[in-house]
Chains A and B, each alone.
Chain A
Amino acid sequence: MSIVFTSGQGTETRRARGGRARAALSPATIVSALVLLIAVAWALAPGLFTHFDPNDGGDTPALLAPSLEHWFGTDQTGRDAFTRVVYGASQSLLAALVAVGVGLIVGTTIGLIAGTRRGLIDDVLMRLIDVLLSIPAILLSLSIVVVLGFGTINAAIAVGVTAIAQFARLARSQAVQINTSDFVAAAYGSGGTFFSVLTRHILPNSISPVLSLAVLQVGSAILQISTLGFLGYGTPPPTPEWGLIIAEGRNFVATAWWLTVLPGLVVMAIVLATHQIGNTLRKVTS
């Protein structure tokens, strides 16, 4: 009888989970997923979406208005603006992933250790995180770029460092809670060492909200990297990078507004899409 009962319960939870996933598939989520898919496709195979050269305008006239031929118009040297945005995707997305990766790995490690070890280690680590939080993010990332040198990856690392604090705080709060549960005590009881318990029990049980935060952070990272690019601290020209493209267009905003507005809208759409996906993931997993 008990077997029948439990298997019934199993299908019930599965059904509930299926229902929740279906509820999460709102039109906004579907559109967001499409936007992100397109952005990823741009990054992987930019040649499929445009046949122009991103760095050489050839003899195309400069500052053309948007047309069927040049969707976003052309810039001051006659390069197709849409092509530059498409080719910029790989730079920006790669940088965003590196930034989130740095924040996720370093932040989660610090948070998990602080949350499980408590005491002095916890205090020292979390006060360091507080220091990190007290420095304005843009100032911190600018300083790091100045120390590391200019470049896409360095800018990404700089953005990643500013995200460490958030990941560490979230991971710590999860770890503190998981660490007091009976199954962690039972794992120590069955001979587990600190690191085996940390990786086998505490990490898997605390990671899902952290991963949802990571997806949310991808959007912010794209924005911050573009900011650094715009200020000239990111990828050096002529490599197409979203922040840089917008910065270059800024000089012609009175006569050729589309050079700033259209790439800006693309960045905005992708940031909003990652936020939407991140929120959906958080709702489904919590």
Chain B
Amino acid sequence: MTDSSLLRIDGLSVEYSHRGGSAAPAVSELDLAVRPGSMTAVVGESGSGKSTTANAVIGLLPSSARVAAGRIRLGEIDLLSLGTSGWRGVRGSQIGYVPQDPGSSLNPLQTVGKSVAEALRIHRRAGRAGARAQVVELLDRVGIDQPEKRADQFPHELSGGMRQRVLIAAAIALRPRLLIADEPTSALDVTVQKQVLDLLDELRAETAMGILFITHDLAVAGERADEVVVMQGGRIVESGPAGRVFSDPATDYTTRLIADAPALQTKARTARAEATRESTDPFVSVESLTHVFDRTDDRITGIEGVDFTVARGTTHGLVGESGSGKTTTGKALSGFLTPQSGHVRIGDFDAAELGRGRPSRQRLREFRRTVQLVHQNPFSALDPKHSIRSTLTEPLRNFRLGDRASRPRLVTEAMDRVALPADFLDRRPAELSGGQLQRVAIARALIVEPELVVFDEAVSALDVTVQAQILTLLDELQRELGLTYVFITHDLAVVRQIADTVSVMSHGHLVDDGATEEIFTRPRSAYTRTLLEAIPRPATLSAVAAPANNRPATPTLLTAAAES
């Protein structure tokens, strides 16, 4: 294996130095190899040093970072000894790089054709006319339809998946031997993610290109990679063939990661007693909710004719890809948007009516107390200038709950409920991690004792282990306080874990609606089926590790697809 490897990293250590401060190792003693035509995935939570590793390989470490020890060899070339001009012959022509965020990685003032041709021009591989022909061919190669037309379009005219394909086209333009993909699909919807991953698979089968794949998504790594390296705190925790790592993890950390990744477990939620009870009067009922921002041909931006109901004390999942209108629905539910038509009944309130007419201020306040929204990004949902204590005290003061003497106790109780120590109260948001911030945001929502909590992608920005903790916490809180949840997410696996009932949305319409298990095992619409099939499933895991009692889900799904 050693002889045939394309990229070889031996004992790599990278340190970040702060001004006048001590050096903190971001990566230490890392060994890794990529063989031609194979994919090695580096998996880890945020801050585990995976991106630092990728940047070290392509020589783009920030100026504060320094390679302290180790060797990186690409074939016969020692990458660490290269100077500026040496790198010029390697970057692009031997190592291709696909960045994480397709939204900000293309120059908005250049047509995508020009962006792709840039590498060709810099390396003088083609003249003006030749470059054009090659660009069209490349765009065609990565599966972009009408490549002639697309090459003359600007990045904002393309969808996220399309832009990621353009970036891949630019990375493979010079037929590099190694492709580094730094979280190339994290910003994409599952169906688009599947297309991009399929493309990478085809490319390496065809050109014997090696791929170094950086991801936080274990499911993706397990499904596609040949070898997996699990990192934690800059060190390798475990490495080996993907099948072995997933079916027989050697360390506790990997076992926990696999257990926490919602996509990897088929654990369904135990049904609530209330959920099964035949309820004639649902707590939340949405009727023909319509709010159209823009309409072109038969496509709409916004939502049209959305109906669903949620029983008291249950969790309703709202699933869809970006642009499907799920956030608009969530805003209408929590009273932040007045829909153009339709009704949103929550208990004895009508959220749609509150925004129209001129409701009394008192009524609006009562509504706000009944329905609370938890935002997607905990880093922006808390005012950076306020301490946690003042953030949690604010809703109490606004709603005149408790008095000066009892509020500190209420705040401490709220912190206790979300399992945060009370000495965090005097910290500012910048001093907390993402998971802790999301707990504070949940505490703020719960402190006013709401009946309905709307979570807008509340766990999407978090690492899998933190995500699992938050989901468990939400489950406990629901049981204790009898809360009703509406859980908006693009992640089907998360929905399966937490929701009793599910609505699937696509392009502003509700395409599927029903009990979670029913949707997962017998999807009614073709769209739901596509979504379910796009979930990455490590073959090794479902074959070996999945407990027997959870097995029916996958086969039923496949047979359902085959029957149609």
Contact = CB atoms under 8 A, between A and B. Distances in A.
B444 interface: yes
Contacts of A3: 421
Nearest to A192: B398
A193 B395 CA distance: 11
Interface string B427-471: 100111101100001001100100000000000000000000000
A10 interface: yes
A191 interface: yes
B487 to A, nearest CB: 17
Interface string A9-44: 110110110010000000000000000000000000
A187 interface: yes
B462 to A, nearest CB: 13
A189 B372 contact: yes
Contacts of A192: 394, 398
A190 B395 CA distance: 5
Interface in A30-85: none
A189 B444 CA distance: 10
A229 to B, nearest CB: 40
Interface string A174-209: 000000011101111111110010001100110000
Contact of A189 (B368, B380, B383, B384): B368
Contact of A201 (B336, B380, B383): B383
A186 B431 contact: no
A2 B435 contact: yes
B156 interface: no
Nearest to B394: A190
Contacts of B445: 189
Contacts of A2: 433, 435-436
A6 interface: yes
Given A16-B18, A182-B380, A191 B369 contact: yes
Given A191-B395, A200-B394, A205-B383, A182 B21 contact: no
Contact of B431 (A9, A183, A191): A9
Contacts of B395: 190-191
Interface in A235-256: none
A182 B377 contact: yes
A187 B21 CA distance: 38
Interface string B400-442: 0000000000000000000001000001001111011000010
B368 A15 contact: no
Most chain B Cβ neighbours within 10 Å, of A6, A181, A183, A205: A183
Nearest to B375: A182
B430 A13 contact: yes
Nearest to A201: B383
B431 A19 contact: no
Given A3-B421, A6-B433, A9-B431, A186 B381 contact: yes
Interface size class of B (residues with CB under 8 A): 35 or more
Contact of B375 (A10, A12, A185): A185
A5 B46 CA distance: 13
Nearest to A200: B394
A3 B433 CA distance: 9
A196 B377 contact: no
B368 A183 contact: no
B31 to A, nearest CB: 25
B363 to A, nearest CB: 13
Given A6-B433, A13-B430, A187 B399 contact: no
Interface in B309-347: 334, 336
B30 interface: no
A15 B394 CA distance: 30
A232 B334 CA distance: 61
Contacts of A187: 383, 394
A5 B466 CA distance: 14
B201 to A, nearest CB: 37
Contacts of A13: 430-431
A190 B445 CA distance: 7
B19 interface: yes
Contact of B441 (A186, A191, A193): A186
Contacts of B427: 6, 10
B430 to A, nearest CB: 6
A190 B441 CA distance: 11
Given A186-B381, A201-B383, A205-B383, A19 B19 contact: yes
B124 interface: no
B385 interface: yes
B365 interface: yes
A190 B411 CA distance: 14
B18 A191 contact: no
Contacts of A12: 18, 21
A204 B428 CA distance: 14
A204 B398 contact: no
Given A183-B383, A191-B368, A15 B398 contact: no
A189 B373 contact: yes
Contacts of B444: 186, 190
Contacts of B336: 185, 188-189
B20 interface: yes
B168 interface: no
Given A9-B431, A185-B375, A191 B365 contact: yes
B373 A186 contact: yes
A183 B381 contact: yes
Contacts of B399: 190-191
Contacts of A7: 431
Best-buried of A10, A13, A187, A191 by chain B (most CB within 10 Å): A191
A200 B433 CA distance: 24
B371 to A, nearest CB: 8
Given A2-B436, A186-B441, A191-B368, A15 B21 contact: yes
Contacts of A204: 383, 385
B225 interface: no
Nearest to B371: A189
Contacts of A185: 336, 373, 375
Contacts of A10: 427, 430-431
A244 to B, nearest CB: 44
B382 interface: yes
A191 B393 CA distance: 12
A19 B20 contact: yes
Contacts of A9: 431, 433
A19 to B, nearest CB: 4
A196 B398 contact: yes
B398 A6 contact: no
Given A5-B433, A6-B432, A182 B381 contact: yes
Going nearest first, the 10 A-B pairs with the smallest beta carbon separation are A191-B398, A190-B395, A182-B381, A182-B375, A183-B383, A19-B19, A182-B380, A10-B431, A204-B385, A191-B399
Given A185-B336, A190-B398, 18 more contacts: A6-B427, A6-B431, A6-B436, A10-B431, A12-B21, A15-B19, A15-B20, A15-B21, A183-B380, A183-B384, A186-B444, A188-B336, A188-B368, A190-B444, A190-B448, A196-B398, A200-B394, A205-B383
9 contacts: A3-B421, A19-B19, A19-B20, A187-B394, A188-B368, A190-B398, A190-B399, A191-B448, A192-B398
Interface of B: 18-21, 334, 336, 361, 365, 368-369, 372-373, 375-377, 380-386, 394-395, 398-399, 421, 427, 430-433, 435-436, 441, 444-445, 448
